[in-house]
Amino acid sequence: MHPYLDSGVVILLIRHGQSTANRDGLLVGRSDVELTEVGESQAQALVGRLGTVRVALTSPLRRAVRTAELALPGAEITEEPAFIEMHYGELEGQPLAQVGRVTWQSLQENHEWRVPGGESMADVDSRVHGRLNEIFRDTATLVASPDEHLAIFSHVSPVKSAVAWALGVHGGVAWRLRLDNATVTAIGAVGDRPTLLRYNERR
């Protein structure tokens, strides 16, 4: 049996492969950047690692969609806006090194602080947790199958938000988590409660 299925996984969350913004050190949320050649290779390396996945959800941004297409050739892929990256508003496209200390402190210390023209971390939690709750409750979805599971291709902020949801902890835990490109995070269930099984897994 595939190791994910053997663990009772119901949802796999995959961060997209390296994008041009990742490569260039830019803070990018809703900008629709492409994968780099490295990112495409990372996505292709996921083939065969995700077990039995016939249906996948993906952020509508191309870097996530392309990762899904390369990782799961032949799967039914549906765009799901709830798993789009955080809206960084006026910070969009800035070099990470130029984002001011006060701004980072505002994000880290106040989960409700909304980036001017964009979202707060709490806004991300609201849409991600709401959609995951719907998926978890729907017994007609693949998450209820004993030999299949659901893959979700997304971005750093939504995947970390999903981890907080699985653990039942405040979303501020995101600042204590590292999440690399093209990694797999696995969420299973104990009874009717989600549980985190694996995080930021490359192999």
Which of 28, 179, 154 has the alpha carbon at shortest distance from 93?
28
What gap in Å lies between CA 28 and CA 6, rounded to an integer? 36
Active-site annotation holder among 80, 85, 92, 119: 85
Which of 76, 64, 71, 47 has the alpha carbon at shortest distance from 157?
64
DSSP string computed for 7-73: TTEEEEEEEPPPBHHHHHTB--SSS-PPB-HHHHHHHHTTTTTS-S-SEEEE-SSHHHHHHHHHHST
What contacts 200, CB < 8 A, 6 or more positions away? 177, 178, 179, 180, 183, 185
Class of residue 152 by CB neighbours under 10 A (exposed 0-12, middle 13-18, buried 19+): buried
Active site residue 85: yes
Q: Which residue has the tokens 């690692």?
A: 49
**Residues involved in catalysis:** 16, 85
